[in-house]
Structure 1
Amino acid sequence: MRFSMLRPMLLTAAFSGLLATASLANAATTINLSYNGPPDTDKNAVHLFASNLKRLVEEKTDGDIQLKLYPNSMLGEEQERMEQVANTPSLNIASFAGLSPIVPEIYVSAIPFLFDDYNAAHEFFDEGDYWNKVEEALKERTGAELLGVIEEGGFLGFTNSKRPIKGPDDFEGLRFRAMDPSQVALYEAFGASGTPIPWTDTYMALKTNVADGQMNPPMYIIMGSLYEVQKYFTRANVQYSDQFLVANGSWYEGLSEDDRHAIDSAVEEANELNREDVEKRVDERVQFLADNGMTVIEPSDDEMATFREQGQPAYIDWLEEQGIGDEWIKMALEDAGQSGLLSD
């Protein structure tokens, strides 16, 4: 009697165990994706990319890989997040502040006035030999994979509270907030001074006249409400505004071929969606700045030529002072179709 009752109980327990084992085997893998800026697709193009990437990855892997989003640097500041992605299964969207300490050669991609338009920038990062070498360098130094260059706001322009800037001479005596030492070098080439100030302190620095100006794409000027404390915006297309999607190398290489293809395809599609959204909204965002009291300056071709003639050689000198090899500079300039700078 006891045996007849016990057998169904044992069978039920065994079946439950099999179901639990199957459930574990089929459980989705959750991967953290960290990045800067608020969870606002209207104001933060990085969040727009992250949201689209999450949706596409989960669709293409049939839910086997799930992304958990951590905006606003919730998992740490730039270098902390780079350490995390190097050591744990995760994804991180890094800015220059996160990637440049590991691969300082990325500063070459920020040579001012390097690209005439968005298509030139896309070709440079999607197909160029220089960027392939950057990807290889990151993998060799950390094991991490550089999966994509994320367009985050268009091209950078100059803002300030003192005077219209139409050419390098208008910078004389002004003080600028700099994102990093490379921007300090550029400001000094134009006769201004630059001081590295964290993004989170930029609004107050401009409001209290610690700095007279800064440079960013229109999206960031709006995100940070900088139009409240800046009067002039010079649409000089100084540098292409981008961030970098980094994956833990062991996790990425350990994926099945199908899942790795799904990830790559999702990154490509999400990036294309980002590019389309950013580029179609640039004029709208510039108009927003004008509607909110900023004077918008559009430099002429001659004025842009003056910016290039003064800014590019000084920036290349700075790269060389940092010990960045000539082969990196030569390769990048060739990819950008500006080899003539090497003989200037």
Structure 2
Amino acid sequence: MFSSLTTPVTKRLWSASAALGISLLFSSVLSAQTINLSYNGAPDADKNAVHLFASNLKQILADKTQGELQLKLYPNSMLGEEEERMEQVMNTPSLNIASFGGISPQFPEIFVSAIPFMFGTFEQAHQFFDQGEYWKSAQQEFYKRTNTHLLAVVEEGGFLAFTNNKRPIHSPADFKGLRFRAMDKSQVALYESFGASGTPIPWTEVYMGLRTGVADGQMNPPMYIILGSLFEVQQYLTLANIQYSDQFLVANDALLKSLSPKQRKALEEAVNQANGMNREAVESQVEQRIQFLADKGMQVYRPSAQELAAFKEIGQPSYLAWLKEQNIDTKWIDMALKDAQ
């Protein structure tokens, strides 16, 4: 019975079928396009929301395109620091998730989106970026200047909180004389408005800077305080909801133009889906992360509405004045404040 199945004709059919399968597989491999995606932070989805977004985007895009588009992830700034990665995405067909440090040299108006105490809830921040005129205009202007596209605002950890290792911060007066790590010059301006000083320190050096007393404090969302183990060198946490914590997915123009309409649509849908998953994951774990920090020994303080108003009363006008000192056209500020309302 078995021998009757292996006739010369059958063997030829099997051989042809196998060859066709190998040919299709080889063709599929050849047609697959690999896209580099670079970003900050460790490849840990539990502690780094940017990596969570990148990982989900990679899987969703591969599924939507049946493997035609494959992302290769480069976490931990493997392809360079912020400005280097921006140069790469402007000049090579790739993707990059940039912070304010990467975007602002090309588009300083991005600092307008970080006006302190502009959002009281996640929903307000989402509406600002999903529907606001400021963000639509920012995307258009950024493309004109850089020939790259701001595809998405990636939620990376919730609202920023103040931490320090000297004393509890309940009011702006409590900042007096303290030294804070700043991510960029906009944060320096905010600290100075409260009577503190700010010094730029790269993320990779923040822990040691706080441990050795180069800085007394810093501000980040709870997720990043955990990611950097800053609870080991910071005692006081003030949940002041200072700014919405986000980064920006940037796409090279030549890359997008190389995609078919179907692939371009799949990429855009995958970005939206991955970002929605990030929002849900980040927001569902905020209180859990705050409790984790409390369990680690940090003294957590939740300002009252009146105390938050006091922070806003000093911090926001000072920041707006700083924006104008940077020669940022007031039209951007006006648009953003209107959208935030």
- Scaled by the length of structure 1, what TM-score is found? 0.91
1:255 to 1:190, Cα distance in 2 relative to 1, 3 A: same
SS of 1:315's equivalent in the other structure is helix
- 1:253 shift after superposition: 2.4
Work out whether 1:284 is the aligned partner of 2:297: no
- 1:254 shift after superposition: 2.8
Following superposition of structure 1 onto structure 2, how do residues 31-42 of structure 1 map, counting pairs within 5 Å? 31-42=35-46
In structure 1, distance between residues paired with 2:191 and 2:300: 20
In structure 2, distance between residues paired with 1:244 and 1:322: 21
**1:45-98 per-position Cα deviation (integer Å, ceiling 9, x unaligned):** 000000000001001111100001111111111111111111111110001111
Aligned position for 1:238? 242
Work out whether 1:220 is the aligned partner of 2:255: no
Gaps of 5+ in 2: 1-15
SS of 2:285's equivalent in the other structure is helix
In structure 1, distance between residues paired with 2:329 and 2:323: 8
Aligned position for 1:94? 98
Aligned position for 2:48? 44
**1:144-196 per-position Cα deviation (integer Å, ceiling 9, x unaligned):** 11110000000000000011101101101111011111001000100111111
**1:196-243 per-position Cα deviation (integer Å, ceiling 9, x unaligned):** 111111111111111110000001100111000000000000000000
Out of 295, 299, 304, the position equivalent to 2:299 is 295
SS of 1:191's equivalent in the other structure is coil
- The one-letter code of the counterpart of 2:161 is G
- The one-letter code of the counterpart of 1:169 is A
**1:89-137 per-position Cα deviation (integer Å, ceiling 9, x unaligned):** 1110001111110010000011000001000000001111101111111
Work out whether 1:56 is the aligned partner of 2:56: no
Greater shift, 81-90 or 114-123, is seen at 81-90
1:314 to 1:27, Cα distance in 2 relative to 1, 3 A: same
In structure 2, distance between residues paired with 1:207 and 1:77: 23
In structure 1, distance between residues paired with 2:191 and 2:98: 24
SS of 2:250's equivalent in the other structure is strand
Out of 173, 188, 211, the position equivalent to 2:177 is 173
- The one-letter code of the counterpart of 1:331 is M
In structure 2, distance between residues paired with 1:222 and 1:233: 12
Aligned position for 1:327? 331
In structure 2, distance between residues paired with 1:168 and 1:125: 29
Contact 2:179 2:196 in 1 (8 A): yes
Aligned position for 2:316? 312
Aligned position for 2:258? 254
SS of 1:214's equivalent in the other structure is strand
Aligned position for 1:143? 147
In structure 2, distance between residues paired with 1:187 and 1:22: 58
- Identity of counterpart residues, as a percentage? 64
Following superposition of structure 1 onto structure 2, how do residues 50-199 of structure 1 map, counting pairs within 5 Å? 50-199=54-203
In structure 2, distance between residues paired with 1:284 and 1:73: 28
Gaps of 5+ in 1: 1-11, 338-344
In structure 2, distance between residues paired with 1:332 and 1:215: 23
- 1:26 shift after superposition: 5.1
In structure 1, distance between residues paired with 2:178 and 2:99: 26
In structure 2, distance between residues paired with 1:166 and 1:24: 60
Aligned position for 1:27? 31
Contact 2:159 2:242 in 1 (8 A): yes
- The one-letter code of the counterpart of 2:265 is H
1:163 to 1:257, Cα distance in 2 relative to 1, 3 A: same
SS of 1:236's equivalent in the other structure is coil
Aligned position for 1:273? 277
SS of 1:244's equivalent in the other structure is strand
In structure 1, distance between residues paired with 2:312 and 2:297: 28
The count of residues paired between Structure 1 and Structure 2 equals 323
- The one-letter code of the counterpart of 2:274 is A
In structure 1, distance between residues paired with 2:295 and 2:138: 40
In structure 2, distance between residues paired with 1:261 and 1:59: 13
SS of 1:247's equivalent in the other structure is strand
- 1:24 shift after superposition: 7.3
1:208 to 1:25, Cα distance in 2 relative to 1, 3 A: closer
Contact 1:26 1:64 in 2 (8 A): no
Runs of 4+ in 1 over 3 A off after TM superposition: 18-22
Q: CA RMSD in A?
A: 1.7
In structure 2, distance between residues paired with 1:320 and 1:21: 58
- Scaled by the length of structure 2, what TM-score is found? 0.92
- The one-letter code of the counterpart of 1:294 is M
